[in-house]
Amino acid sequence: MRRKAIELAAVATAAVPGLTPTAVSSAPDDPADFDSALLLDSEGKRWRVRSPRHAEASARLETEFLVLRAFAPAIRAELPFLMPTVAGSVRLGSLSTFVYSHLGGITRSVEELTAGPDSLAREIGAALAAIHDLPRAIVSNADLPSYTPNEFRQRRLNELDQAATTGKIPPALLLRWEHALEDVSLWRFNPSVVHGDLHEDNLLVEGPRVTAVTGWTDLRIGDPADDFAWLVASNEQDFVDAVLDAYTTARRDKPDKHLLRRAALSAEFALAQYLVKGIAAGDATMVAEAEEMLATLASDIAEHGGQPISVEPLPSAAAAAVTGAAAPAAPSSGAQAAGSGAGPGMRAADGGAPAPVPPVTVLPVPAVQPAVHVTPIPADPAPAPAPAGGEGGAGAGSGTGEGTKTNSPDVRGGPDDTSTAALTIVDVHKN
């Protein structure tokens, strides 16, 4: 049963002793997994509440708590953005609800981000590079998943087999994805720390700056291309190029030349994962949405050829099955070089040249805003300029967030400590 924002406010008072909410509003989140709310307390401090809707979502929040605890202050201070801090937790039955200290900034739609200034694209690229350059010990010490390239490829093949058993994936897409997953040359990359659930709802922005990154429920060592999937799905190649340029400049290791191909595959395959998730949850609406988006994707690829996701081109007969056209008797004189996999008007994503705007639109998995609206929380006051040399890094723009030393009582270490060290876990079923 969905929890209203006012109910989440009541739960938060059990998770954080002394918290007295005076205003509450719903917050954007994944409605299939979480109920969320923003709170304003009697002291003017803001909080975020996330309550899972099922056991798997609760496990993800508990994993996120372990992840956030693994980020020592010294590591956080090196990041160009802020991270959430857990203030308290309460268990309701078998599910755990978490309360977080508020982070400055707001979420923007993909359209708003891609229409933003070039400096915002550079900020996103720098944020991605900082995540992927994190020490791998953060993941291993928290006992989180770690995959080699071949293990990651095999995992995706297993997911493809599972999706195929539903009988709801267009055969042309199954053939296209299987060919890419069996193209071994595509999967030669250096694994890195990966956020795993990066998209526009997990980026907080103030003007041209990325102030915070949230949603750390799927941290792992794996393919850095997964964190680019949402960008590729935006279908705004100039923006993707700008982000990739900043990312390449900021990273310690040079990205592999097939990163955008795998990102495009991840963006397409996310629709199959959404379908499997809907079937497992018995959610007919999710299943219908997934089937519609998969059909649209298959139709667009058949008409336009799609963004290249393989290094090796499909065999002629297989390519004809995907595009819906007759197989050519011989390659035309104007054909692209072997290995590009690009359709008309496309250039290969190899040799450091990312693919341009794909003629196929990859529809992002929908994230419906919660319909609950109670008392709105007033807008944040204008942030004070951060002192030079502060610990918050380049992205700590709010001046009151974690990792920035000020005289505010809201920061870690002050009288209102909300760091993980001050975590209070309350079982509401106990007297």
Whether the predicted pLDDT of 341 surpasses 50: no
Q: What does the mean pLDDT of the chain come to?
A: 79
Tell me the C-alpha distance between 173 and 251, whole Å: 33
- Please indicate whether residue 349 or residue 94 has the higher confidence score (pLDDT): 94
For 26-30, 39-43, 78-82, 335-339, which range has the lowest pLDDT when averaged over its residues? Answer: 335-339
| pLDDT, tens only, 123-143 | 999 999 999 999 999 998 888
pLDDT score at 325: 47
* Interval 29-51 mean pLDDT: 88
| pLDDT band for position 181 (cuts 50, 70, 90) | very high
Rg, Å, the chain Cα set: 23
Would you state the pLDDT for residue 281? 86
- Give every CB contact of residue 247 below 8 A, 6+ residues apart in sequence: 125, 126, 128, 129, 255
Whether pLDDT at 392 is above 60: no
Count the neighbouring beta carbons within 10 Å of the beta carbon of residue 283.
Answer: 14
Which one-letter amino acid corresponds to residue 358?
A: P
Distance CA 273, CA 311 (A): 23
Q: 8: which DSSP letter?
A: H
Residues contacting 70, CB < 8 A, separation 6+: 138, 141, 142
* Alpha-carbon distances of 8 from 36, 315, 369, rounded to whole Å: 7, 55, 16
| Of 155, 163, 228, nearest in space to 187 by CA | 155
Cα(236)–Cα(123) distance, rounded to whole angstroms?
A: 17
Sign of CA dihedral 265, 271, 274, 280: negative
All domains in the chain, ordered by first residue: 5-105+370-427 (3.30.200.20), 110-323 (3.90.1200.10)
> In the chain, pLDDT over 70 holds for what percent of residues?
73
pLDDT band at 4 (very low <50, low <70, confident <90, very high): confident
Helix (H, G, I), strand (E, B) or coil at 137: helix
DSSP 98: E
User: What are the beta bridge partners of residue 47?
Assistant: 39, 101
Say which DSSP state 31 is in: T
Average pLDDT over residues 198-222: 93
3-state secondary structure of 295: helix
Residue 367 sits at the vertex; the CA angle it makes with 362 and 372, to the nearest 5 degrees, is: 160
Q: Report the pLDDT value the prediction gives residue 244, as an integer from 0 to 100.
A: 96
Q: Which residues contact 177 (CB under 8 A, 6 or more apart)?
A: 160, 265, 268, 269, 272, 309
Neighbouring-strand partners of residue 209:
206
- What average pLDDT does this structure show over 151-178? 95
Distance of alpha carbon 341 from alpha carbon 307, whole angstroms:
8
The mean per-residue pLDDT over the stretch 168-182 comes to 95
**Residue 320 confidence class, pLDDT cut points 50, 70, 90:** low
- Look at residues 66, 19, 67 and name the one whose alpha carbon lies nearest to residue 43: 19
> What is the model's pLDDT at position 378?
53
DSSP state letter for 228: G
Residue bearing the bigger pLDDT, 328 or 50: 50
Q: What pLDDT does residue 92 have?
A: 85
pTM exceeds 0.75 for this model: no
